[in-house]
């Protein structure tokens, strides 16, 4: 994907990851590969780990180290109450933005005189 995707992910990627964790706990590598499966083929691994560090420091997730059968121990993240609140706020913000952008899209596809001022 292009630069546009990168910039558009700012602010939304955090919500995406919180939403993934809301479904069930997961560790960084797992999140990255699940995102790739879902079509986000170009999200850098380092980006996800950095994001996880941030949300952990903000206390939005609980962390548990779990030994892996093939590699270093996994850090399994699970959403806690704070994270749930931030996720809820994310959905509100997203809804607001998506609604307005859809309006704009509609305005272009179906232009009309605007009598309201």
Residue 108 CB, nearest approach to its own copies (Å): 5
Of 5 and 65, nearer to its own copies (C-beta) is 5
Comparing CA positions, the residue from 67, 65, 60 lying closest to residue 75 is: 65
Which residue of 11, 53, 63, 80 would you call a contact of its own copies, by CB under 8 A? Answer: 11
Q: Which of DNA, its own copies, none does residue 105 bind to, with CB < 5 to 8 Å depending on kind?
A: its own copies
Dihedral of alpha carbons 95, 26, 45, 61, sign? positive
CA distance 10 to 84: 19
Is 68 a binder of DNA (CB under 7 A)?
yes
Interface region with its own copies, contact rule CB under 8 A, candidates 25-33, 34-42, 49-57, 58-66 = 34-42
Is 105 a binder of its own copies (CB under 8 A)?
yes
- Lookup result for tokens 């939403």: 19
Dihedral of alpha carbons 100, 101, 106, 112, sign? positive
Is 13 a binder of DNA (CB under 7 A)?
yes
For residue 28, how far is the Cα from the chain centroid? 13
Residues found near DNA in the complex (CB under 7 A): 3, 5-7, 9-14, 27-30, 42-47, 49-54, 68-76
């Amino acid at each position: 994907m292009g630069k546009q995707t990168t910039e558009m992910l700012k602010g939304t990627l955090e919500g995406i990851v919180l939403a993934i964790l809301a479904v069930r706990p997961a560790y960084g590598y797992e999140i990255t590969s699940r995102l790739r499966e879902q079509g986000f083929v170009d999200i850098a691994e380092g980006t996800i780990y950095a994001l996880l560090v941030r949300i952990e420091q903000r206390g939005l997730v609980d962390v548990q180290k779990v030994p892996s059968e093939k590699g270093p121990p996994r850090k399994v993240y699970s959403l806690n109450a704070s994270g749930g609140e931030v996720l809820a706020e994310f959905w509100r913000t997203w809804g607001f933005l998506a609604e307005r952008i859809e309006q704009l899209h509609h305005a272009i596809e179906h232009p009309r005189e605007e009598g309201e001022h």
